[in-house]
Structure 1
Amino acid sequence: MAAAAAANDTTAPARPAGPQLKLLVDKRSRRVLYAEARKDAVDFLVGLLRVPAGLAARVLAGHGVAAPGSLGTLYAGARALDDAFLAVPTPADRDAVLGPAALPSAALTLLGVSLAAPPPPPPPPQQKRYYRCNAYTLPCRSNPLNVTDVPGLSCPGCRQPMMVEMKWAPGAGEAPGKAAQAEEQPSTGGYVKEVVTYLVMDDLTVEPMSTISAVMLLKKFDVKDCSALDEMTVELGPKECVKLLKASLDSTTALTDVFSGGVSIDRLE
């Protein structure tokens, strides 16, 4: 009885909706002209660049080669967004998300491309070390004032070799190694900010949306009668992720192929 009552309980909180795209679809051809997206949907699409095929697209971009399909335009659009729209705080964080990634050649075969092995990365810079004199003789006794990063250099005060290594004391609120960790890990707040609605084209190009951009797109697609357009809202989840990734590997009309099943722009032109 308790289980049945729980099943019929309509007061339970609804499951929160996932990322959504609001598509504008041409009724005749069923092609997607463009989509409106909030931050969560854009972060979802940028996340496609972090799975193996998306990483391969980033590698190609790092070698100056445009990736086939919609992955290349998704990468280029995300890379071109102005800093004002980004949630990542520093250029290093943007590079952690979108910078070229090192992958085994097997991952690149997903895009049917083979590249020469890149040169090995430079070794990480060594942490600087500082030294002082032994502070045994005047005028430095018990109060050394000179420091150097060259061990053995003669102290300007007491003329003794500076061989005693100093320890770095981090400032208030600064943990040791914090800066290095920040460079290695991207921001956890997603890729873009929530302040605006974003425009997603059929080839997954992303840019901030405005009234003017929407009107110019309708002009570009020669839309004279708005009654010829359909509005469709789709939710993005694991299944859509797989479908979008598959479509984006060889198509520049990924939204149409996955959500509308219409005539792709490639076949119309």
Structure 2
Amino acid sequence: MGAYLSKEHVSVKLFIDEEKNKVLFVQAGKDFLDVLLSFLTLPLGTIARLVSKNSNIQKVRVGSISSLYDSVVNLDEKQFWTPVCKEMLLRPRNSMEEYCQRIKLNIDDTEKMKYFVCENQNCSRESGALLSTFRNQKCKCGKPMNREIFLASSCTNEKVDYEGFVPDTASFIISDDLSVKPDTLSGTIFKPINLPESCNLDAIKQVTINVTRKEILDLLKCSLFSMTPLTHVFLKKNLVIENRNTQSISSFDTDCRDQKSKSREKKISVKLLVRKSSNTVLFALGGEDFADFVISLLTFPLGGVEYMLNGKSYMGSIDNLYQSISVLDHCNYLRSPDLVDKLNKSRLAHQFKICNQILPIDEASAFNYACYSKKEMYGEVRSSLVASNGCSWSFFDTCVHLEYLEPQSSTGEAYNRFAIGGRGFTKKPALYMVSDDLIVTPGSSTSAISVLTKLRIPLSDVVECDIDIGKNESLSIVKASLISSSALTNGFGPFLTKFT
């Protein structure tokens, strides 16, 4: 937590109802809203890791995502195609990291993406050379790709303004439930702040405070569970954390985007062991495609999840924050018009989409790079990485076009950017057992016996079900995993016959 000891801060003006001991709203500028919007770009695995840290508020656990994260930590590396696969799940990349790296209080401690070529300089100068965004992957020549290469200072990827999300001069009114409105003269004077006519103006106190990274981490924690996160963080009110196991199961099959089933949609076959007396799923048993589906949830950005669920994740105040983007005038209150799409449909990072992806989420496109070697100077050959579209070559004597190395490859296979995605994370053939709270472990056909023995459940109280997971079922599981520690019971609930 060393990063959170920084004295960097952003200033906001609080408007507090002293009679009710409640934050009515805050008036804030670019720096604070940039931070709030960055929450939507964070992968679920990153969120699970960040909120497990101590700040002013105790560490918290998010639905079944936290237990899923912990189970991946405990999975043996031999279950994965390469050690990189496990790294991709535990420290997933943010597809908008270039924006987030430049905001004033970035709380994401994921290492910035770097580029590597083969340590054998002759290999990395050949036609069809490989480029990796992970250190020490094995090149096709067998040597490690550990030679870091940097973007040429004379050539940029594209002319993009990465300085956060909103303009420097913009001002915003952010209510206690994280609904965001521009501080504007349109409408009535009191419209942006929604003050009721009965409000006692004498009870409103204005306070300017400095917000540090530690408070931002507090705000992330509270925003996942509370409809009044500003009051919890800034007035130090206790936060009650509850995973909603009692949520109506039938609610999980509604409000998900693109509900129409397609005859040719991808399916994943699994077996469920259901306890009849409680109508709960004890565990699911499936192959590597099922394990990949579950563990890949850690790589999904929060905004992308909100998009799939049509802005109805029911995670605290996150829905309000997400829906606020759509109503902002993108010409005046975002740094570029395309940021609406980038935030509303936050994408997986490049090379993070699995080949059998049944969820409707896209992967960020990648730049096509070439490696240019500068002429030898003082006995040293210096190479630079540049985008292969429209850069002056006059300063370089050689050019090698690079292909991305597939992160799951242990033999130096190039990544096919025209395919849907890589091969996945876990090796095949294999069986995996996934518990109700998404703990993933290697499984077997005898897993049921072990579980029933441990829980002292009689055979007469269980039933085995075969189910095919398609888009609707997968969306329901995602929704349940965010707010419940019984993700399979609540996720599969709408699709199972009740056995009681």
TM-score, structure 1 as length reference: 0.47
Give 1 or 2: higher strand fraction: 2
**Larger RCO: 1 or 2 (CA < 8 Å, sep 6+):** 1
Give 1 or 2: higher helix fraction: 1
Structure with greater Cα Rg: 1
